Amino acid sequence: MSNTTPKKPAGSSEFREYHTPTSGLFFRTGRVLCSRSSAFQKIEAFNHDFFGTVLFLDGLVQTTEKDEFYYHEMLVHPALACHPAPERVLIIGGGDGGALKQVLLHPVKHVTLVEIDPQVIEVSREYFPWLKACLKDKRAELVVADGNEFMAQSQRLFDIILVDSSDPVGPSAVLHQKGFFRHLKKRLNPGGVAACQSGSLLLHAPTFRAKSKFLKDIFRVARFYTGPVPTYPGGIWVYNFLSDAVDPLDIKRKPAAGLGYYNADVHRAAFSLPNNLKKLIG
Amino acid sequence: MSNTTPKKPAGSSEFREYHTPTSGLFFRTGRVLCSRSSAFQKIEAFNHDFFGTVLFLDGLVQTTEKDEFYYHEMLVHPALACHPAPERVLIIGGGDGGALKQVLLHPVKHVTLVEIDPQVIEVSREYFPWLKACLKDKRAELVVADGNEFMAQSQRLFDIILVDSSDPVGPSAVLHQKGFFRHLKKRLNPGGVAACQSGSLLLHAPTFRAKSKFLKDIFRVARFYTGPVPTYPGGIWVYNFLSDAVDPLDIKRKPAAGLGYYNADVHRAAFSLPNNLKKLIG
């Protein structure tokens, strides 16, 4: 089937994420759910035979119903598992609700989701089965605001802060920069933990050295970890675990039942870094 | 860039691997190196801006110069690291030479590579920089033969056997079946170890339960492990570690210097399985 382009069925559309200018993922679908431009980005959603509902933001796969759990479980549970009693949680970004869903599996008291783009919320609420239910949870609070400004201006404190941003290149770049993490640190309670996504080992490696350096300047514990995400470029995703007090290998609480990927063993394993990543972060 | 198909530059070709009937990876290139049909399969090679030389067999990415080390290091080094003194090694398949290159980093005495398709060897020797040098190594022996027949008929014994087959669906399916592994076991020296690839966690999961069951019937130690491969479908690859005597977590020898992915920590981490895989293999 290679080296030829089979004809599309009538009425079908092809969505592509370009990982490089000449390669990437394609999805063909006959069921486009939404295609619009918000003040911030192009928002597209479609239904795919294998991946279910797929959300594209500015031409990049943000969420697929089939495999979102890989990313969201590994963003959320390592930080929460290492805190003895997380009560107040902040999520920056994450308008698709995937991280929120994972946080609400824990006995937390309050979760604040700060999403810049109300249309991402609207589309996700319509097409992802979990978001409507999560937003009905009395512990969940939705704030439509710029995550960077929220972090700089808020006076509130949190036990856990999760940065569920887009990639380190493009409009979310500010959420991967030193100034943002300086403010973030001030919003953590003593004993608090933050986790953020740092992008693709295949594509964003050039950003890791500088990020590693400034995170180590800011936090006493600034560890990289990895996890797979089938529909993200290169399949291996890179995260950071940030704290002034908490060892990422000191798991304090058992994981929720019924998770697709995460367990205490893969939590510990995720901090065993491959040679190429170790070399990059020094 | 999504939902539109930018025009191809004149003279460029697009290669696609279909992961499902309506999704997969695409590569655009202006430099097709080879496109031919052997007695066994369609062989295509091209040069890609980011991935370097890419080999497609029957429309599936077999090897890319950029990321082959993820797959080959994780197929080869776990087995070899757990043997105190591996002298004789057999590779079934692997005509691209990627596994052979990794084996030759160890102080082994003899490596036999059994590849069914001489044209895969020919194309790889021409376009991958490592194969020519590896085949000049006095320890390397090339046998052009059907791996399944070789395994059934050979009387030779090996310390390590590596099964570098294509995927568990299609022409290599026989190399994923019970009969093949029964023969394989007879070709292992006492204290020997085998490793094989079992396919994609995303796509080949339905085959894992039966494979797990029959491997446990044949070998006292039949463990699954995982590793990432950016250009393989779903990004997470599944392997088996097989032995009657050797614990996969009992690493006996230090890894070679200069590896891109593998080290003793990721070796151990690879055996920490995610919930979805644990559930599949029972």
**Fold entry, domain A13-64:** Spermidine Synthase; Chain: A, domain 2 (2.30.140)
B101/B97 Cα distance (integer angstroms): 6
- For A47-71, the pLDDT digits (tens) are 999 999 999 999 999 999 999 999 9
Which residues in chain B have their CB less than 8 angstroms from residue A1's CB?
A: 16, 18, 59
Indicate the average pLDDT of chain A: 94
Residue-level pLDDT, tens digit, chain B, 282 residues:
344 445 555 668 999 999 999 999 999 998 999 999 999 999 999 999 999 999 999 999 999 999 999 999 999 999 999 999 999 999 999 999 999 999 999 999 999 999 999 999 999 999 999 999 999 999 999 999 999 999 999 999 999 999 999 887 776 888 989 999 999 999 999 999 999 999 999 999 989 999 999 999 999 999 999 999 999 999 999 999 999 999 999 999 999 889 999 999 999 999 999 999 999 998
Contact A272 B261 (CB under 8 A): no
To the nearest whole angstrom, how far is the Cα of A10 from the nearest Cα of chain B? 14
Q: Which of A69, A91, A114, A231 is nearest to A161 (CA)?
A: A91
- At A136-180, the pLDDT tens digits run 999 999 999 999 999 999 999 999 999 999 887 776 888 989 999
Q: Which of residues 217-256 of B touch A (CB under 8 A)?
A: 226, 228-230, 232-236
Q: Which residues of B touch A16 (CB under 8 A)?
A: 1-3, 5, 26
What's residue B7's pLDDT? 55
Q: For residue A66, give the chain B residue with the closest CA.
A: B202
Q: Do A2 and B20 touch (CB under 8 A)?
A: no
- pLDDT-derived band at A2 (thresholds 50, 70, 90) equals very low
Which chain B residues touch A36 with a CB distance below 8 Å?
none
Q: Which of A3, A236, A266 sits opposite B35 (nearest CB)?
A: A3
Chain B residues with CB inside 8 Å of A35's CB? 3
Residue A164 designated active-site: yes
Q: How far apart are CA A35 and CA B135, in angstroms?
A: 54
Nearest C-alpha of chain B: how many angstroms from A182?
31
Would an 8 Å CB–CB cutoff place A106 in contact with chain B?
no
Q: Where are the domains of chain B?
A: 13-63, 68-281
DSSP string, chain B: -TTS-PPPPTT-EEEEEEEETTEEEEEEESEEEEEEE-SS-EEEEEEETTTEEEEEETTEEEEETTTHHHHHHHHHHHHHHTSSS--EEEEEE-TTSHHHHHHTTS--SEEEEEES-HHHHHHHHHHSHHHHHHHHSTTEEEEES-HHHHHHH----EEEEEEE---SSSTTGGGGSHHHHHHHHHTEEEEEEEEEEEEETTTSGGGHHHHHHHHHHH-SEEEEEEEE-TTSTTSEEEEEEEESS--TT---SPPPTT-SS--HHHHHHHTS--HHHHHHH-
Rounded to two decimals, what is the model's pTM?
0.95
Quote the ipTM score. 0.94
Domain spanning B13-63: CATH 3.10.450.230 = no
Per-residue pLDDT reduced to its tens digit, A57-110: 999 999 999 999 999 999 999 999 999 999 999 999 999 999 999 999 999 999
| A278 to chain B: closest CA residue | B261
Task: Give B-chain residues touching A20 at CB under 8 angstroms.
Answer: 49-50
Is A68 an interface residue toward B (CB < 8 Å)? no
Q: Is A34 helix (H, G, I), strand (E, B) or coil?
A: strand
> Does the domain formed by A68-281 have CATH 3.40.50.150?
yes
On whether any CB of chain A is under 8 Å from the CB of B44, the answer is: yes
Within 8 A of A64 by CB-CB distance, chain B residues are none
Give A268 or B4, the one with higher predicted confidence: A268
pLDDT at A267: 98
pLDDT digits (tens, 9 = 90+) for B56-96: 999 999 999 999 999 999 999 999 999 999 999 999 999 99
Which tokens is B162 given?
A: 């590596």
- For residue A3, the model assigns a pLDDT of 44
User: Which residues does residue B228 pair with via DSSP β-bridges, in sequence order?
Assistant: B236
Measured between CA atoms, how close is A248 to chain B, in angstroms? 15
Nearest CB partner across the interface for B261, out of A5, A233, A275 = A275
User: Which one of B27, B259, B262 has the shortest CB-CB distance to A23?
Assistant: B27
A37 Cα to chain B: minimum distance (Å): 13
